[in-house]
Structures are given as structure tokens and as C-alpha cells.
Chains A and B, each alone.
Chain A
Amino acid sequence: MNSGVWKEVGCAKLWNEWCRTMDTVHLSPTDAFCVFYQLKSDPSVFLCQCSCYIAEDQQFQWLEKVFGSQPRKNMQVTVLTCRHVTEYKTSESTCSLPSPFLRALKTQKFKDCACCPLLEQPNIVHDLPAAVLSYCQVWKIPAVLYLCYTDVMKLDLVTVEAFKPVLSSSGLKCLVKNIPESTEILKKLMTTNEIQSNIYT
């Protein structure tokens, strides 16, 4: 996010039992749990990066604060989230699933096609992504949620690349830049997380 393309415009701080820090008043920017960015080249595009758990009783207030109590109708929302493949309920064996894979859920107002199959029953979406989608359905905002089922606990290159079809969706197509070194840049971002592990040499 510090590539210079996005501008940080706000953050939402909250505390619940899942938070690791006790002091919510003096949170540093890296502690801030939900950070909002605005695309410099197109100020109508906002991005929210949420890296904490938002409890059920806090979700409604979070949504009110973020979308406002009277949300605008002419916006479109895309939610990206991940889940472990063992939580995917299916009659197939998990070993035959092509992890990582994408599934989508969309609101009634979202008229375009999702770029992957829709989430089959009895699977459900949890936590904040579900809250955002429900809110958008209630307020008739076109929204789509892309859920990636992955078989690793930490984010890695293969999981991130599973989201690539999303870049060709109608909502995000205009924002996509064709960078030939995109794979290299992604690799670099992923490998910075791997340095500390001594398990493998």
C-alpha cells in the first residue's frame, strides 16, 4: 500500500477481546485495524484494508460509520476475503478440490456476472464480509463478495494469484494496469513474509 498510488485517508480503531493491544488510545498507524485508502489517480475509488476481527456487536456501528447512515446508491462494493478450504462444505473429498479456488456471492442489485461460480449451499460467509454484503443488500447497493478457499494458513503467492480473475470483472477492469513484472512484484511481496522461518533450508 505504500507504493505511492494510494493515499491513506482514514482509519477505524476498535477494541474487542481478540485485540492484542490493551491501549486503544495510543495506537500507532501499524496497529490501526482498518485503514482506508483513496486511489490518487481516481478519487472515487476507496479501499479498506481490514486486518482485525470485528465482533458481531461492533459490525453494525462499523458499517454505519463507514457507509454513513444514508449510504449513496450509486456506489459499487467489492469484498475480497479468504477462508481455509477445510471449512468448505462439499460432498467431494478435500483432496480433489483445486485449492485455492474462488467463490462469489452478490446482492440483488449487482447485475453483472461474477467471475467465478457462486457459493454453493450450505456454505456461508462469516464476520465482516458477511456484514458488508448484508448491509449492501438491505440498502440496495450493488455489491459482490469474492471468497478464496485456500489450503495454507499464511498468505502466499498461489493464493494471491487465485484472485486474478477478479481483475477482469467489470467493476475493477478500469483500474487494472498491465504490468509485465506483476508476478515478480507479487513474489517479492510474498517472500518478505518467509524470511524468519528456519524450518526449511
Chain B
Amino acid sequence: MASRYDRAITVFSPDGHLFQVEYAQEAVKKGSTAVGIRGTNIVVLGVEKKSVAKLQDERTVRKICALDDHVCMAFAGLTADARVVINRARVECQSHKLTVEDPVTVEYITRFIATLKQKYTQSNGRRPFGISALIVGFDDDGIPRLYQTDPSGTYHAWKANAIGRSAKTVREFLEKNYTEEAISNDSEAIKLAIKALLEVVQSAGKNIELAIIRRDQPLKMFSAKEIELQVTEIEKEKEEAEKKKSKKST
């Protein structure tokens, strides 16, 4: 009888559900898709850009945010909740740097965000954060990392993952196409991220935003032109692959 057990966050239902947390996961599905890929020397974050109103300044609608020079995250879900979480994470990154004189590891900041989210699933009168986040970056040891958090406060490391609307479709695509070959070099990893998004994004390159971090380099956001170039290349490769197929069959 869910209706009696979803009013207050701190109440379990008889069958062990925390309904508010599950409803928060539904809120995540209302956000547009974000995909993260961990390559060998690169981490890629791709997001579906939300269509902005005519008079709205596009630069203020951001799904990919840097938490520090070597860590960035993409989220899906409630915009305002994301803003609060990102601000807290950014402060924590700097506080950590000042206290121990070392930048945060990706795992540390992910754990911090996840712990923050979990606190809100166990407090009176507060609702959980309605966002899932994909956190990517390189640690000091040079290893690329990709983590995903969800409203319940769990976090896991992934090789590639997607969140938001149509995440299931994108994840299935990644399960089929994430191979050692596909992430063998940086440009292939970038193409894989774009291909994954093209499965669910309408009107191709105009609605995609992409960010990469290479080892020992700062975050790079792709411009619209660069994304268009990638999309054109992908379409060419697709055509050539289809021509080869039809030649083989004849």
C-alpha cells in the first residue's frame, strides 16, 4: 500500500521500500540523457542539450560542470538540486586541497556527493536529491575514472554508463559496442560517446554537448562546430560500412 508509505522519507514500507527514493529516481528519468565513457587515456562526457527558450541565454543552461581542474560531472534530473550538490562538491574540492595540499581523487569526491545524498534519505522533513550524476576525471596516478551516483546515495565505478531519459537504450547500445577496440584511442572513444547519444537524440549534432578530459590536461568542452565535424565523420563511416555490406552481399 504505497500511498501510506510515501509521505515521509524516513518510513519504510512493509516490503522494505523507500518510496521517496524510488520516486526521486523517476525524477532523474525526466532529465535529458547524459553518457559517460572511460577510455584508456581519456574520459568523455556527452549530454543531450535541452532545447532552450528563444530569449534564454544558452550558456546558463549547463549539464556538464567542472568540480575541479581534473574532475567534472554531468547530471540528470532536477536542475536546482544539481546546483546545490555541485556547489557543495566544489567547496569540498577546494577545502580538501587546502587542508591536505592534494587535489581530491575522483573516488573521494564521488563518495562525498553520495554521502550527502544519503543523508537526505534519512532525515526528517527533507526529500532526497532528485539527480543522478556521472563523475569523471583522472587521479594523480594517471588512471581514468568514471563513477555514477543516484538519489539513494549509492555510487559505483563504471566503464561506460548513461543516465536520464532513454538511459536504458543508451546503456544497451554501450553494452554492445564498448569494446577494447572502441576505446583504443581518444577519437574512437569520443565517437562512441556521440554514437551512443545519436541513438536517442533528435536532430543530431545540434543537440549534443561534449566534454573530455585527457591525462594531465584540463577539461575541454567541444564547440558546436567540432561536434558537427565528428557527427559528419560518423555518418560517413556509417555510409561506407553500408556500402561495403551491400557489395559483399552482391
Contact = CB atoms under 8 A, between A and B. Distances in A.
Contacts of B53: 195-196
A94 B27 contact: no
A201 B2 contact: no
Given A200-B27, A201-B31, A201-B61, A93 B76 contact: no
A198 B2 CA distance: 29
A22 interface: no
B79 A199 contact: yes
A196 B50 CA distance: 10
Nearest to A188: B202
Contacts of B31: 200-201
Interface in B65-103: 75-80, 82
A201 B3 contact: no
A201 B51 contact: no
A77 to B, nearest CB: 37
Interface string B176-212: 0000000000000000000000000000000000000
Nearest to A95: B2
B207 to A, nearest CB: 12
A201 B1 contact: no
Interface in B1-41: 1-3, 27, 30-32
B3 A198 contact: no
Contact of A95 (B1, B32, B51, B52): B1
B63 interface: yes
Interface in A185-199: 195-196, 198-199
Given A93-B1, A93-B2, A94-B3, 4 more contacts: A198-B61, A200-B77, A201-B32, A201-B63
